[in-house]
């Protein structure tokens, strides 16, 4: 089954404790993205990647890092999480601009 998977699905952590959210796709897509979704603000792109080792900033990259060492994986790294990073995070892979989203990761930073 073609899919995008994310782990963990839910995470509660404390300020400053480094964390990684994994994302993996099995559709052999070159393009992948990370978004956060907040009430009233919609989906905002954090980072995107056009291929292995090629990444670029989206609209809200501050406080996040990404890496793309393999085509199928695109982890999101929060080196020092803060409460304003509490949000619902989606990973997506895309083909011809059409994006396929993972199930989401709900992150709470206290």
Partner 1 sequence: QKEVEQNSGPLSVPEGAIASLNCTYSDRGSQSFFWYRQYSGKSPELIMSIYSNGDKEDGRFTAQLNKASQYVSLLIRDSQPSDSATYLCAVNVDNYGQNFVFGPGTRLSVLP
Q: List residues near partner 1 by CB under 8 A.
A: 31, 33, 35, 40-45, 48-50, 56, 58-59, 90, 94, 97-104
9 or 17: whose CB is closer to partner 1? 9
User: What minimum distance in Å lies between the beta carbon of 13 and partner 1?
Assistant: 21
Contacts of 2 (CB under 8 A, 6+ apart): 26, 27, 100
45 or 73: whose CB is closer to partner 1? 45
Q: Which of 71, 101, 70, 85 is nearest to 18 (CA)?
A: 85
């Amino acid at each position: 089954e073609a899919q995008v998977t994310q782990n963990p699905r839910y995470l509660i952590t404390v300020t400053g404790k480094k964390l990684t959210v994994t994302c993996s796709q099995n559709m052999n897509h070159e393009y992948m993205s990370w978004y956060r979704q907040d009430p009233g603000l919609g989906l905002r792109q954090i980072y995107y990647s056009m291929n292995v080792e090629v990444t670029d900033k989206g609209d809200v990259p501050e406080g996040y890092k990404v890496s793309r060492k393999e085509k199928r994986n695109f982890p999101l790294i929060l080196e020092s999480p803060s409460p304003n990073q509490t949000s619902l995070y989606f990973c997506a892979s895309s083909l011809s601009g059409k994006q396929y989203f993972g199930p989401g990761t709900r992150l709470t930073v206290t």
